[in-house]
Every structure is written in C-alpha cells, then in structure tokens.
Structure 1
C-alpha cells in the first residue's frame, strides 16, 4: 500500500459580490453612487453635480439653501410674458367670434340693468374681452403688447394678472355708478388705462423718467372726453384703480411682501365688491320705482 500526501485543507467558498441597486428603484442594478450621500442611483435618478452625480433628494436639500431669484416687486422671475400673450389671444378670439355670433356683445358687455336686475355680475369682467370695432381692438391690443410684458416682468405672472383684472373691474364699477343704465359698454380700455397708471407708478418707484407715459395718459384722457361714444368711466375707473393697486404692490414692505401684496389685492376686490352691492339697490329702485 502506497501512502498519499495529505490533501490540502479545503478553502471556504467566497460569496459573490453583491450588485448594488438603486435606492429608489430596487429592481435596477447600478454602480454609480450619489456624491453627497453615497447611495447607489440609477440613470433616472442621476442629477448632474459639480463633480459626478447626486440623487434627487440631495439636490432638493441643496436647493433649499439657495435664494430663489425674484422679479423687481417680489414675483417669480418671468422668462416669457405668457399672461400678456394669453390675454391678447383671448381678446382676438372673442373679437373674431363676434362676427359669427353677433350677440356676444349683448351677452358679455357691461350694462347696469343686466347687472342689477339680472344678477349678471360676470359682465363686470367679461366686458373687458369684448370690443366694438377694429380700431378699438387694435389700439387696446397694441397697448397691451407694448406695456404688458414690461409690467409682467416687474410684478410676475400672478400679480400682473391681478392688476389687469382688478383694473378692468374698477372701470366697470365706476360705470355701474355713473353710466346711463341703458347703455352697453365694451372693451379692455379700463384695464389698459390701469396698466398706463401702473407704468407711471413703477417708473416713479424706480426713479425713472415718467414724462413719456404721463404725456401718453394725458393724450388718451383728452381723446376720452373729446371723441363721442367713449366711456370715460371705464377709462377713469381703470386708471385710478390700476395706479392705486400698483402703488400698493410696488411700495409694499420687503418683509413679508407677498403677504402685504395679497392683502392689497384682496382689499381692492373687497372694496369694489362693496361698491357694487351698495349701488345695485339704487339702480333697482330707480328703474322699478
């Protein structure tokens, strides 16, 4: 019998290296890790960083400490004046629709009787989207195209649309008090005059030369009272409302500015609503005796 050399001791089997998986998608293998928290992340979770990649949670955490850019008076930075373009498009679409549905003016225009007796309060706003002719809509569209983007970038989308609509409402409310209740008025001129007033206020707030806009306002006010058939109430009401509201927005304290501005918008809407509520019974009594 021959002797055999002793067998070497058996080596324990080495476990295979575990393949890491994305911490947000456990079914996806990945060898990339977040540079900040070192957790594995798949391609869908990779966010470019200064060096390598970070996960979505670390990116969000880092952004919390970065001060977000704001417009001149506290709104979000406006890359493109979408509100201005939307209002322009709405005005044009309604004007085109008037040729196919002639009753649009009667259905949407501002009239004290319809508001007071028919509870059609929507006319206080919808009248600003209806126009009486080609020159009417061309002038208002041109004015909005020129000054709308400037104000939208200064105030931000939300504040600008509030300024536009509240100015339109201010013009309608003065018309509710002063116009012949049997006259139908239409047009965005109240809102446009509100924007004129806002440009003047913003210019003064930023110490800019406001002589140009002052002359433009004066010329248009003169036309308002010289040319027959123009609603002076819409123009004056919109101008006063737009100037006053823009002043409240532009001069709001920097500390808690958004709160002050929201309160200003709400306050103007409430004041105009009170003026409507007070005026309605007067019209009803005058008509019904």
Structure 2
C-alpha cells in the first residue's frame, strides 16, 4: 500500500508518474491534478515527449534525429530504445562491463593491480584509476567513475544508483542527468586528487560514489522528505541522511588532513565534492521540477527503497 503525495490517501494500486516520479491516487493521477512539472512543457518536445537521450526529436514526418541520420535507431524498437529515459541503467551496465574489464579481461592480458605499489606506476592503475601520479591522464577522469575496487564496492554503488538515479533522471531529463552524473563524478575524483596533491599524499581514486552523492544532493533539495532505509532497515528522510553523511565526511576529511589515518582508504572529500554539486544543482532546478516523491516504489515511475550508503 502506498500514500498519495497530494492528499495522503492510502491506496492499494497507486499511480506512479513517469515524469515527476510522484505517487498518486486515482483522483490525482492526471498531470493537471498533481501539478506535474511536465504540464509547463506540454508543447515542448524536449520536455514531456522527449526523453532527452537523442540530440533532437522528430518534429515532422520527414525530420530525423542526429542518431537516426547515422543509422542508429533510438525508437521504441531500436537497439537503443530501452535507454530512452533510462540512462541510469546504461551507467549501471557500463560499470559492470568496466568491472569485468578490470578483473577478468585485463588479467588475461597480463594487466593486473599490484598490492602495495602506487597505482599511478602500474599499467592497470594508469588505465582504471585517477591518481596524483598522473592526473593529466584525461581518460582516467571518466573511466575511474565507472571503475570499482571490489565486488562489494560495485554492489553498494549499484544499489544506490538503481534506486535514486531514475528519480532524478525523470525530474531533469536524461541529457541533463547524464551531464550531472559525469561532471560530478569527474569533479569528485579530481577534487580528491587535488587534496592529495596539496597534502603531499599518493592518491588513487575510482568509483561512482561522487556522482551518486550528487544525485542524493539533488533529491535532498527536490524531495527532502523522501523516505529511505539506511543499511536496509533504518528509516529516515533523505534530508536527514544527507546531513548525517555530510557531517561524518567533514569529520573524516579533517581527521585525514590532520594526519590520522583512521578513515583512510575512503575518498571522503570526493563524496563531499559530489554532494555539494548535487545540492547546488538541486537548488537550480527545484522550481522547475516541482514536488518530488515522498517514498520510493518498485515499478514504472519509481524505484525501490534502499540504503543511502556508498563507498568511493
């Protein structure tokens, strides 16, 4: 049973709006009855009708998108059709593929991580990690966002992205979500490397946690009362979770900067960088995306309840 975000009525079969991500009863299921932000763009193909995945949208029977012109079909039956308005799942798939490349394919080619050695001096590290040794390797700015250090690291990040990503993607559109994810992920890694350079420490960064924290930052502004389960069983609002996480990360960064290694091995400054980008962007789009959902739901238009924890 779910609760309508407008009137609070408990309903057995809720309607989940695919544009704003809200949960509604039959009375408020129509966009005009729950002030859906999509109404403002009803005549704008980049708003309601376009997922934002294509560069352009067909405006007439004879026009084609940029991807159509080069032979890639993004229609309902096309090879990329599934990823229209589902870039979150594309990023999940890329992370799994990159992880397989890290620990299955690369070792077969004789390329593997070396314990106790600066990753910036190994071929494996120079491919998959962003390091203080080689911060100028631009490809690592991107690939490090999709790389992970262990199955557990990948699992926690994948869970958080799976549950929170689709909500923000439906709020801002796939193109802007893609930019948010990549820019915040790269900025988070570069921020951690920058701090390492200032402190004179060797740092190797990999993981999507910075981008995921940006997603949570957006939701903290657009849907502050969204209920989540920390560690799968502690209920709280995403606003409370963000405050607790930010406080812990600030303390951890201060501890690391003071020379205490108790919280070493986790890129807390990267988490904070991603979070602040998300909070900033959430404030920019809050008035345009309208009311965010108050709970996560499995099924079309929603995600499922999950943890708010991730490691970089």
2:240 corresponds to: 215
- Kindly report which structure 2 residues correspond to 1:157-176, keeping only aligned pairs within 5 A, or say none: 157-176=174-193
Which residue pairs with 1:34 in the alignment?
Answer: none
1:233 is the counterpart of 2:269:
yes
Q: Which residue of 2 aligns with 1:148?
A: 165
Count of residues in Structure 1 that have an aligned counterpart in Structure 2: 182
> Which one is further off, 85-94 or 224-233?
224-233
Cα deviation for residue 181 of structure 1 reads 4.8
More strand by share: 2
The runs of 5 or more residues in structure 1 that have no matched partner are: 1-65, 255-289
Q: How does 1:265-276 map to 2 (within 5 A)?
A: none
Pairs within 5 Å for 1:269-284: none
Confirm or deny: 8 A CA contact 1:98 1:105 kept in the other structure.
no
- Structure 1 segments of 4+ aligned residues over 6 angstroms from their partners: none
Q: Is the 8 A contact 2:220 2:242 kept in 1?
A: no
Give 1:88's aligned residue: 92
SS of 1:165's partner is helix
> 2: CA distance between counterparts of 1:104 and 1:122?
13
How far did 1:220 drift? Answer: 4.0
Aligned to 1:133: 150
In 1, the alpha carbon distance for the partners of 2:98 and 2:226 equals: 36
CA distance in 1, matches of 2:289, 2:223: 18
Measured in 1, the distance between the counterparts of 2:161 and 2:88 equals 7
Q: Aligned with 1:122: secondary structure? A: helix
Specify whether residues 253 and 218 from structure 1 end up closer, same or farther in structure 2 by C-alpha distance, changes over 3 A only.
closer
* 1:247 counterpart residue number: 283
Inter-partner Cα distance in structure 1 for 2:289 and 2:156: 35
Q: CA RMSD in A?
A: 3.1
C-alpha change, 1:166 and 1:181, in structure 2 (3 Å) is same
Q: What residue number does 1:98 align with?
A: 102
C-alpha deviation, 1:214, in angstroms: 2.1
Partners of 2:191 and 2:269 within 8 A in 1:
yes
Q: Which structure has greater helix proportion?
A: 1
Distance 2:210 2:289 in 1: 28
Do the aligned residues in 1 keep the contact of 2:221 with 2:279 (CA within 8 Å)? Answer: yes
1:196 aligns with 2:216: yes
Kindly state the Cα deviation for residue 85 of structure 1 after the two structures are TM-superposed. Answer: 0.7
CA contact (8 A) 2:172 2:289 kept: no
Which one has a bigger Cα radius of gyration?
1
Deviations for 1:238-284, whole angstroms, at most 9, x for unmatched residues?
11112212322334699xxxxxxxxxxxxxxxxxxxxxxxxxxxxxx
